[in-house]
Amino acid sequence: MNKQNKNTHSSSLQTSETKSKFSVSTDYELWSFLFQENNSKEKHKLSKGKALFDLTKRQRLWMLTNDDSYIDGGILALANAWTWDRNTVKRFIDSLVNLGVAAVENAGNKTIVTLTNVTHLPNGGSNS
């Protein structure tokens, strides 16, 4: 490939990469494997990945039980669970909303955070 073609190819690659959105489908078992709980009872500040996994666990329990208490804890409850301050939780949730990963609903003094594009596959089945 000559230099001109190489530069043209590189330029078109950059343009197409910035226009497309990349998404990876995973399942709960993978997240559980990646973020296995340690047996320590000490509270540690969670990483962003573990905080997202916590939201995933909460939504999974809500979907399995229809018990709203798993997802309506609000910013303060998440801050306590993740050992973050409330402003950090709020900025994180806002970032997830801006990325199209989460939706927020205010119900009185509670904030309900749900993840978008979640598929519940009963009995480990496929979505086809």
What are 12-63's pLDDT values in tens digits? 454 545 566 666 677 777 777 777 765 556 678 999 999 998 998 888 888 8
CA 49 to chain centre: 8
Q: 115 burial class (0-12, 13-18, 19+ CB within 10 angstroms)?
A: middle
Number of domains present in the structure of the chain: 1
Are residues 82 and 45 in contact, defined by beta-carbon separation less than 8 angstroms?
Answer: yes
More confident residue, 42 or 88: 88
Residue 128 lies in a domain: no
Say how far apart CA 33 and CA 115 lie, in whole Å: 20
Find all residues with CB under 8 Å of 63, minimum gap 6, and list them: 118, 120
Whether residue 116 is predicted with pLDDT greater than 80 in this model: the reply is yes
More confident residue, 11 or 48: 48
What is residue 44's three-state secondary structure?
coil
Residue 28 lies in a domain: no
* Residues of the domain holding 104: 46-118
